[in-house]
Structure 1
Amino acid sequence: MAVAARAGFAARGLIYVLVAVIALRIALGGGGGERQADRGGALGELAGRPFGVALLWIVGIALAGMAVWRLSEAVFGAAGPDGSKLSRRAMALIRCLFYGFFSYSVLAYAAGDRGSGSGSSDRQTDDVTARVLEWPGGQWLVGLAGAGVVVAGLWISVRAVRRKFLEDLRTEALPARARPITVALGVIGGTARGVVFAAAGVFAVVAAVRHQPGQAKGLDDTLRGFRDLPAGPWLLALVALGLAAFGLFCWCEARWRRVRPGGRTVG
């Protein structure tokens, strides 16, 4: 189980690094080519590399391992003193479902279904938002969901700044030279990730208030939104570097994350 979890963190880190690379191209004026700065764009970027299909299979299987490990956390509890709390177990189950779907989309893409996993996050967000806005009370649902994403983003950033992620790492195993680098990557990467989440939530709230599904933005349009602000290209470049830092931090997690399979903590 520990191997599955660590492989999953490595795969997640790779996806974030690829998204960051595309976003940095957009910031520098390259437009990112035809790639979207989101999961679909990352998969397309990976598929275009030598042995890309094989890499996609590896990433998909690794993400499946992450889903299984999250399921074990939901059943047995996570590492740490509060790992058996109902809230932690529920969150682990939600993450299990997310990574299970993510893994399926990557594996389907690797198997030749280019419509799976590679769709634009912006179009998908527009479609879902438009559908929900048609429901009775849809504006409230979209607004509340957007507000929830804003709160989640702020929580992610605050947790990163407070270095709460260290509670999930085997800090006693961190080499002295690796510790400051790992902490810096965790703080910078987590903060940037939270800012992106919060920005996406703000767009969803705006879509609800104006009853315009097109105002809701997926990851790609959210990142491009930073570019449209004053000093936008530089701001987007900073956000892209922050996401790259989070990807690198995921690789640190792959090495030093505390894992608790079957009710016991292992190093």
Structure 2
Amino acid sequence: MRTPTRTPTRTSTRTSVSARRGARRAANSSAAGTAARWGLVAYGVVHLLIGLLALRVALGDPERQADSGGALRELARQPFGQALVWAVGVGLAALALWRLSEAFLGAARPGGRRPKERLRSAARSAVLAVLSASAITLAVGSGSGGSTDERSRDLTARVLDLPAGRWLVGAAGLAVIGVGVWSGVRALRHAYREELGPVSARVRRVVDVLGVTGGVSRGLVFAVAGGFVVQAAVRYDPDEAKGLDDSLRALASTPAGPWLLAAVAVGLALYGLLLFALAHRHRG
């Protein structure tokens, strides 16, 4: 009597599909949704503070550090600051895990299972994980929040010392410029609506102001930072690389002067408000 040979394969396939469905249901559960909202609020707080710090720099307060490290230290100075930094760090970690689940399982939004979207979720998860680690180390007292300028120069110096390091740094800079341009274009196309639940026309108009202004401002800063990385590769000088703080300050040296920095600072703060709106109306 001949024994069927396809049954184990079919059973294995059904089991695999069932496991993926179960994992996806867990990722889209109410608990996961709550964690995602918490993380979006935490990320919004960071952007809002960076925007406000950059605005103070534009208004003549050069001692402020307008980047994630400065934002976390500013938060730590507030009443119950350590608890607030802990809340932000844990929230960012939760959001990083949620984005990682999107990378593996696909997002619930339309087109969320496409390879491009999975890659974007993975990149977001990595950035959030680094920012979360910075917040938590500051909360436990073993870190100072760090400076994105110092980290950018240190990383550029290490990569320049590698074989073909100049080419690697140049490619990384072009990639960051590409991310900045892509972010701005996505904002102009209202791509943030993919994560926005059903809203009234009036609310949508408000969110569009936040999303377009904030997304374009954020994209511009990425593009400027990437340009400095390319410059570091061309000149073979890691000191040419700049983080968020120095990239923002560079805007004030343009013909538009501090007005451009002020406009971008307001845009970054509005992006923080957009994240609050997405957290409130989050649909996954």
Asked if TM exceeds 0.5, the reply is: yes
Map of 1:30-179 to 2, 5 A cutoff? 30-31=61-62, 33=63, 35-115=64-144, 118-170=145-197, 172=198, 174-179=199-204
**What is the one-letter code of the residue matched to 2:56?**
R
1:101 Cα shift? 2.7
Q: Per-residue CA shift, 1:171-201, capped at 9, x if unaligned?
A: x2x1333221111100000000000000101
State the match for 1:262 in structure 2: none
Asked if residue 187 in structure 1 is aligned to residue 216 in structure 2, the reply is: no
Determine which structure has greater relative contact order: mean sequence separation of CA pairs < 8 Å that are 6+ residues apart, divided by chain length.
Answer: 1
Map of 1:208-223 to 2, 5 A cutoff? 208-223=233-248
Asked if residue 228 in structure 1 is aligned to residue 214 in structure 2, the reply is: no
Query: How many Å separate the matches in 1 of 2:244 and 2:269?
Result: 15
1:70 Cα shift? 1.1
1:39 Cα shift? 0.7
Q: Per-residue CA shift, 1:207-253, capped at 9, x if unaligned?
A: 11111111110000000000111231111000100101111101111
Taking structure 2 as the reference length, what is the TM-score of the superposition? 0.86
State the match for 2:22 in structure 1: none
Percent of aligned pairs with the same amino acid: 49
Structure 1 residue ranges without an equivalent (≥5) = 260-267
1:79 Cα shift? 1.8
Query: How many Å separate the matches in 2 of 1:44 and 1:10?
Result: 18
Q: How many residues in Structure 1 have an aligned counterpart in Structure 2?
A: 253
**What is the one-letter code of the residue matched to 2:52?**
V
Is residue 66–residue 99 contact of structure 1 (8 Å, CA) maintained in 2? Answer: yes
> Which structure's CA Rg is the greater one?
2
Query: How many Å separate the matches in 2 of 1:21 and 1:98?
Result: 21
Q: Per-residue CA shift, 1:45-71, capped at 9, x if unaligned?
A: 000011111101111111111012112
Query: How many Å separate the matches in 1 of 2:188 and 2:124?
Result: 23
RMSD: 1.3
SS in 2 for 1:177: helix
Q: Per-residue CA shift, 1:123-174, capped at 9, x if unaligned?
A: 111111111111111111111110111111001001111212212311x2x1
SS in 2 for 1:90: helix
**What is the one-letter code of the residue matched to 2:260?**
L
1:8 Cα shift? 0.7
Q: Per-residue CA shift, 1:242-267, capped at 9, x if unaligned?
A: 101111101111112321xxxxxxxx
Is residue 79–residue 168 contact of structure 1 (8 Å, CA) maintained in 2? Answer: no
**What is the one-letter code of the residue matched to 1:95?**
R
State the match for 1:204 in structure 2: 229
Asked if residue 27 in structure 1 is aligned to residue 58 in structure 2, the reply is: yes
Query: How many Å separate the matches in 2 of 1:36 and 1:244?
Result: 15
Query: How many Å separate the matches in 2 of 1:71 and 1:205?
Result: 29
Structure 1 runs, 4 residues or longer, greater than 6 Å off: none
Query: How many Å separate the matches in 1 of 2:281 and 2:72?
Result: 26
1:83 Cα shift? 1.3
